[in-house]
Amino acid sequence: MGERGSIMGSIQRATDRDLDLAQCGPLDKTFRSYLVVVVIVVVVVVVVIVVVAVVTTAAAAEVLVVVVATAEVQVVVVIVVVVVVVVVIQ
């Protein structure tokens, strides 16, 4: 339990440091604009994949399910969701 507590503590410290860095003025604005562009690109790509899967055969939908099921895609989706939530909160 002690090891888990120290891991959580270091995660909290890293998060606090990142939040401090995020509140540093002009850099924050450029970072946020880049973030908006990245989110828009990701949303467009996902929409295109979904439209292609719907328009084409059921095989494409199966391919989409397999792609979404891969761990890397899920990690990217989680990161994008967290980033969007952070931007919305700010």
The pLDDT assigned to 40 comes to 83
3-state helix, strand, coil in the chain (%, to 5): 90, 0, 10
Pair 52, 60: CB distance under 8 Å? yes
Question: In angstroms, what CA-CA distances link 11 with 7, 20, 36, 64?
Answer: 6, 14, 25, 34
Q: How far apart are CA 49 and CA 60, in angstroms?
A: 9
* Torsion angle of C-alpha atoms 56, 58, 63, 64, degrees rounded to 10: 70
| Sequence ranges of the domains in the chain | 25-89
For a pLDDT cut of 90, what percent of the chain falls above it?
0
Confidence of residue 4 (pLDDT cuts 50, 70, 90): low
